[in-house]
Structure 1
Amino acid sequence: HSLYLGEAEEHLAGLLRKIGLFYVLPRTTLSPLFSQGVMTAEVVSYAYAAWKFVFYFAARPGDDLAALSRALAHDPTNRSRLMELGANLRRDVFTEQRVAETIFQYPGLVSEIYEDFEAAHNFARGAGQTRRSTVQTQEHLHTMIRKQIADEVDAEVLFTMLLFNRATQKTNFFMRGKTALAFRLDVSFFGNRERYAAYPDIPFGVFMLVGSTFRGFHVRFKDVARGGIRIIKSHDPNAFNRNKEALFVENYNLARTQMRKNKDIPEGGSKGT
């Protein structure tokens, strides 16, 4: 026998999706935004994943750093030192706490940014058929952020969330039966050398995974690559903070090193952490 529920069937699918998201992320720092009715379960889960992306990839350089970087274009040693200094400064600015403050302060904008994400990636609702509309939405959101957000850090957080939407090529966010959130990222954003000079070689692929008790990346420099997986356990809060800050940089560097080790075999280098 078959039972057709019409609109109720769609509501049931939405309920199952919410339950799946609660299973993946049962309680996070952003959970009060749901319990207080400020955001839906989908928006809170999206914001949590985007929060991690922003933490690792928000990298707008200041005008002075950009000018110095250009001036040192033919001095790779000192330019590398400058990039490391810039990376340290950005880590001091875009802390996880600071990014979370922006999410709590602008839940309405974050919800609209989620709608852009859903329009691009929820194929059950016609994602992929409205590319022009998605581009227009991004342009509209960029304009809103520029007009409404005076604080540069807040604006950069929200702009980087929009970058997350564009950079996501594939995701299981809208699928059932998941145990973590996974995002395959379009690595072309690493092509902005002023923002991402710390990563001299653009990888073939980057995957970001987010769960209730972990986060991780997989970086590969060829379509077919090998290099192993690391699991890092932190024994105290200080170690955890150090490990999470260095997570992507270490993962990238290990995969890049593995790529050089694999230069004489067909498989490229990769690493998961």
Structure 2
Amino acid sequence: IEHSIYQIMKEDSLLYCLPKEPLQQAFRTNKLSVQGTVYGYVGWIFCQHFLERLGKEYLFLIHILDRRNPVGEEVLEKLKKRLHQDTFTREYILDIRKQYPSLLKVLYAHFLTGHYVNQAEASNQPTISYKRLTAMERLPGEDLAKRIKEVTTNYHERLVFEGFLCFNKHVLKTNLYQTTKVALSIRMDPSFLDEIEYPRDPYGLFLVYGSEFRRFHIRFSDVCRGGIRWIRSREREGQSINVR
């Protein structure tokens, strides 16, 4: 009974952090656990912001266009903006994610294998989360990448789920499995950032998800000022773009 209560406490803390999530139907139909549902949400947000959209063709254009020419610079900026806004929208990524619940489950098992922490304190009895882990299909990173290529039907679908795999590989710390929390926090290894879009490597990258917000904290040294800030868009158009 104590372990069941402990599991309910963990899952309640996640529901408090993220009460509204597009994958909740998968939880209601028992296709995903609460943790798996939250993982799908966090990976979805990660892909919205950090999915590789520019490609080798954009890099080729950078080399052949004279960036000292204002016209060439303007063309590159407009192309970059369109690639970000029109290729992988939040709705498009969500639709792709919903098409493959079994693949998402395997990706979550890969994440769980690397980041699950048993906080059942003094007891050595396995928690319900750990029992779920042992019952899941678990694949190493290389085999999982092959599975993604085999299951998906086109390049866009493969790119989205490779984004989830990239997320798994670069998570350093998370409070996902802690019992008490008011927001979900994840520290990332920033080495995955694209050099074209992020020419300066940050020291630390933190993603924070709450019931009413999604925030980033980026620092360029071990000690820095500030924390999570909310910057409102000046115009409705800007807000519609930044909401992703």
Give the TM interval when normalised to the shorter protein. 0.7 to 0.9
- Matching residue of 1:107: 101
- Matching residue of 1:27: 20
- Say what the alpha-carbon RMSD is for the aligned residues: 2.8
Q: CA deviation at 1:13?
A: 2.9
TM superposition score normalised by structure 1: 0.73
2:152 maps to amino acid: I
- Matching residue of 2:217: 218
Give the conservation status (yes or no) of the 8 Å contact 1:28–1:212.
Answer: no
Q: CA deviation at 1:9?
A: 4.4
Higher deviation after alignment, 59-68 or 89-98: 59-68
Structure 2, unaligned runs of 5 or more: 119-125, 131-137
Structure 1, unaligned runs of 5 or more: 1-7, 128-134, 246-273
1:226 maps to amino acid: R
Name the CA distance, whole Å, in 1 between partners of 2:187 and 2:208: 9
For residues 118-147 of structure 1, give each alpha carbon's deviation from its aligned partner in whole angstroms, at most 9, with x where no partner exists: 11111228x9xxxxxxx9611111001112
Name the CA distance, whole Å, in 2 between partners of 1:80 and 1:199: 18
Name the CA distance, whole Å, in 2 between partners of 1:236 and 1:82: 24
Distance 1:83 1:187, change over 3 A: farther
Q: 1:89 aligns with which of 83, 98, 101?
A: 83
Give the conservation status (yes or no) of the 8 Å contact 2:106–2:139.
Answer: no
Name the CA distance, whole Å, in 1 between partners of 2:73 and 2:34: 44
Distance 1:84 1:223, change over 3 A: farther
Q: 2:46 aligns with which of 36, 53, 56?
A: 53
Q: Which has the higher contact order (CA 8 A, sep 6+)?
A: 2
Give the conservation status (yes or no) of the 8 Å contact 1:50–1:164.
Answer: yes
Alignment of 1:1-273 (within 5 A): 8-72=1-65, 75=67, 78=72, 82=76, 85-124=79-118, 137-190=140-193, 192-193=194-195, 197-227=196-226, 229-232=228-231, 240-245=239-244
Name the CA distance, whole Å, in 2 between partners of 1:203 and 1:34: 36
Distance 1:76 1:156, change over 3 A: farther
Name the CA distance, whole Å, in 1 between partners of 2:68 and 2:26: 46
Distance 1:205 1:35, change over 3 A: same
2:48 maps to amino acid: F
Identity %: 31
Name the CA distance, whole Å, in 2 between partners of 1:164 and 1:67: 27
TM superposition score normalised by structure 2: 0.81
For residues 60-104 of structure 1, give each alpha carbon's deviation from its aligned partner in whole angstroms, at most 9, with x where no partner exists: 4334323323445x7466468526623431331221111111121
Distance 1:239 1:19, change over 3 A: same
